[in-house]
């Protein structure tokens, strides 16, 4: 398993060879990300209204509005346009990450930043991109959080945040690399299955199904 993982990490041509399929995967992930965002934000809003009643209420409302608008735009304009799905998925995540960093440091300097740790662990798992780009992504996010944390917190709380942030960073890095290996294998298998279903096994030319798809 480790040998397959390192093979995929080194062979970045896979992301060129399967570019179209990977774009489709990221488009589906974008829709899933926005859907989960709506559900989780709505649940968080209910929790805030019923139990917590903290000063984060308006932040949760803003987050819910963001995800709802994003989901509507995705369904209307982006669902069938997958060429820039990877960039759109990054762009959809960045405002939420920025909000969790600000809320966990500047707005709430006297509490632990648990929400950001969850985001750091979960958000990169939606992306299928070159390992180098994903590593740069989570390193940049982690660095921004630590810089903001050092600016607004101090003492035991600061050390706690940085320690847990670094641990979460390592878990996130390991998770995306191992999940990526499995996802690339699935892409390869699905394309192999598609090719076999559209070609005659004896001659290698398109069969009726493949021919009809090409004609369309």
DSSP code string of 23-43: HHHHHHHHHHHHHHHHHHHHH
Q: What is the pLDDT of residue 75?
A: 86
Q: State pLDDT tens for residues 139-156.
A: 999 999 999 999 999 889
Q: Quote the pLDDT of residue 203.
A: 62
What is the domain range of residue 36? 2-215
What are the two backbone dihedrals, phi and then psi, of residue 206, each rounded to the nearest 5 degrees?
A: -65, 140
Per-residue pLDDT at 54 exceeds 80? no
Q: In which band, very low, low, confident or very high, does the pLDDT at 184 lie, cut at 50, 70 and 90?
A: confident
How high is the pLDDT of residue 11? 58
Question: Which contiguous run of DSSP H or E holds residue 96?
Answer: helix 85-102
pLDDT in tens, 162-182: 999 999 999 998 888 778 777
| Average pLDDT of the residues in 74-98 | 86
- Is the pLDDT at 191 greater than 60? The verdict is no
Distance CA 174, CA 167 (A): 11
Give the C-alpha separation, 184 to 179, whole Å.
Answer: 9
> What is the separation of C-alpha 141 from the centre of its chain, rounded to a whole number of angstroms?
13
How many domains is the chain partitioned into structurally?
1
Looking at the chain, the whole-number percentage of residues with pLDDT higher than 90 is 42
Given a cut of 50, is residue 2 above it in pLDDT? no
* Model confidence pLDDT, tens digit, residues 27-41: 989 999 999 999 999
pLDDT at 42 over 50: yes
Query: Which pLDDT belongs to residue 95?
Result: 94
Q: What is the mean pLDDT of residues 40-56?
A: 78
Mean pLDDT over 60-67 rounds to 92
* Per-residue model confidence (pLDDT) at position 200: 55
For residue 35, give every residue at least 6 positions away whose Cβ sits within 8 Å of its Cβ, in sequence order, or none.
71
Beta bridge partners of 206: 199
Contact 177, 137 (CB under 8 A): no
Residue 122 reports pLDDT greater than 60: yes
Given a contact cutoff of 8 angstroms between Cβ atoms, the answer to whether 205 and 199 are in contact is yes
Q: In this predicted structure, what is the pLDDT of residue 192?
A: 59
pTM of the model: 0.80
């Amino acid at each position: 398993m480790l040998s397959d993982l390192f093979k995929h990490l080194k062979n970045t041509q896979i992301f060129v060879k399967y570019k179209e399929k990977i774009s489709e995967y990221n488009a589906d992930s974008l829709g899933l990300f926005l859907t989960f965002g709506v559900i989780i934000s709505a649940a968080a809003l209910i929790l805030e209204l019923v139990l917590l009643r903290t000063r984060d209420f308006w932040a949760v409302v803003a987050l819910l509005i963001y995800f709802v608008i994003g989901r509507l735009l995705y369904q209307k304009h982006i669902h069938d346009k997958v060429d820039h799905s990877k960039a759109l998925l990054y762009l959809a995540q960045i405002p939420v990450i920025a909000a969790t960093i600000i809320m966990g440091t500047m707005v709430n300097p006297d509490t632990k930043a648990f929400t950001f740790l969850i985001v750091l662990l979960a958000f990169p798992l939606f992306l299928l991109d070159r390992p180098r780009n994903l590593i740069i992504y989570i390193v940049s996010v982690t660095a921004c959080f630590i810089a903001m944390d050092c600016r607004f917190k101090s003492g035991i709380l600061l050390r706690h945040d940085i320690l847990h942030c670094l641990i979460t960073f390592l878990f996130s890095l390991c998770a995306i690399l191992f999940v990526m290996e499995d996802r690339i294998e699935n892409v390869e298998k699905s394309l192999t299955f598609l090719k076999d279903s559209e070609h005659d096994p004896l001659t290698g030319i398109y069969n009726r199904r493949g021919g009809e798809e090409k004609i369309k």
